């Protein structure tokens, strides 16, 4: 009898796991996984020649590997394009990681990933929150880091303590869990000037995820990501970055700067904060929003390729 119960329990867990997997996103590229510290699995895709220059891509808050599809599609013939799902996102381990500073946690996860794969001469490219994470990685001057690309990076804009607390409440796990379909759609649309078809696919992934048993943990990771960005600003440390850096923003970014808290600021003014970086080039892309790599992929890819080729 005990054996039968064990078998039934195992089958139940397998079925639950399978149902849970159905609520995860599916990727068009082959997905690989690697275990970093504390038994956390990180999912990634690895496209391009194994001996090509490495371009490692780190998504932003609420993002995942799909955010980099147009970049991978456009650059994999010239570079080894590796895009990761940070812990808590996509196909990586999703749980409450019980970390005090998620920016440090994510940065350490990126470093662990690079070391596990034995990557060298890496160009690290981060979008939004992933840009802030990438700066933290760069500030530790890892030997493997060759160049840095920051796409609409978080952490440049300054917030008062009062403004920060307001943003944290807005991005609480309970608020994320309560979002309706219309609110989810609106939150995605604000990232684009012209939302591509892939944007609709991302919206459907997000809506579907609400049914998952891991969704509460995912919401908590997002909450802690916002907290980490606000509690761990980087603008004062940009001068310490020692590698050549490319900073890219979309001219029509509606998220940076925050239009409600800082209506007097322009995206160009936030981008100019990047001039604190000793070896920096700053580019603004016309007719592109916060998701500039998806909004204007041809222009984005051309600028990235030129910065890495010359």
Tens of pLDDT, residue by residue over 195-234, are: 999 999 999 999 999 999 999 999 999 999 999 999 998 9
Contact 152, 127 (CB under 8 A): yes
Of the candidates 102, 130, 125, which has an alpha carbon nearest to the alpha carbon of residue 40?
Answer: 102
Percent of the chain at pLDDT above 70?
Answer: 93
Kind of pairing between the strands at 122-127 and 145-151:
parallel
Kindly state the average pLDDT of the residues 80-87.
98
Average pLDDT of the chain is: 92
Q: Please write the tens of the pLDDT for every residue from 86-121.
A: 999 999 999 989 899 999 999 999 999 999 999 999
First to last CA, the chain: 70
In which band, very low, low, confident or very high, does the pLDDT at 257 lie, cut at 50, 70 and 90? very high
Could you tell me where the beta strands, DSSP code E, fall in the chain?
Answer: 32-35, 41-47, 54-58, 80-84, 122-127, 145-151, 245-250, 280-285
pLDDT at res. 38: 87
The CB-side HSE value for 36 (13 A sphere, CA atoms) comes to: 25
| Sign of the dihedral through C-alpha 284, 114, 221, 217 | positive
* pTM for this model (two decimals): 0.93
Integer CA distances (angstroms), 245 to 83, 187, 258, 277, 308, in order: 19, 29, 24, 8, 10
pLDDT at res. 20: 54
pLDDT at res. 37: 87
Q: Please write the tens of the pLDDT for every residue from 5-22.
A: 333 333 333 333 333 578
Contact 83, 59 (CB under 8 A): yes
């Amino acid at each position: 009898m005990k054996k039968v119960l064990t078998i039934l329990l195992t089958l139940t867990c397998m079925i639950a796991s399978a149902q849970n997997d159905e609520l995860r996103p599916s990727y068009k590229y082959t997905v690989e996984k690697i275990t970093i510290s504390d038994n956390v699995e990180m999912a990634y895709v690895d496209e391009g020649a194994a001996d090509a220059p490495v371009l490692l891509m780190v998504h932003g808050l609420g993002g995942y590997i799909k955010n980099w599809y147009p970049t991978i599609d456009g650059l994999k013939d010239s570079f080894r394009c590796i895009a990761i799902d940070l812990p808590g996102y996509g196909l990586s381990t999703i749980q409450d990681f019980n970390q005090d500073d998620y920016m440090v946690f994510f940065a350490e996860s990126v470093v662990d990933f690079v070391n596990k794969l034995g990557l060298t001469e890496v160009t690290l490219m981060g979008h939004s929150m992933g840009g802030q994470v990438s700066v933290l990685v760069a500030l530790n001057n890892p030997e493997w880091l060759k160049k840095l690309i920051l796409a609409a990076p978080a952490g440049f804009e300054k917030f008062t303590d009062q403004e920060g607390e307001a943003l944290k409440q807005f991005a609480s796990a309970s608020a994320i869990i309560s979002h309706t379909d219309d609110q989810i759609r609106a939150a995605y649309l604000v990232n684009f000037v012209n939302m591509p078809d892939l944007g609709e696919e991302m919206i459907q992934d997000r809506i579907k995820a609400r049914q998952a048993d891991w969704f509460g943990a995912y919401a908590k990771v997002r909450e802690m990501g916002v907290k980490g960005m606000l509690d761990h600003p980087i603008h004062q440390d940009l001068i310490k970055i020692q590698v050549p850096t490319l900073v890219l923003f979309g001219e029509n970014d509606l998220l940076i700067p925050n239009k409600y808290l800082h209506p007097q600021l322009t995206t160009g003014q936030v981008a100019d904060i990047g001039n604190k970086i000793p070896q920096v080039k700053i580019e603004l892309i016309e007719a592109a929003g916060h998701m500039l790599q998806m909004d204007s992929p041809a222009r984005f890819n051309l600028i990235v390729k030129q910065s890495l080729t010359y």
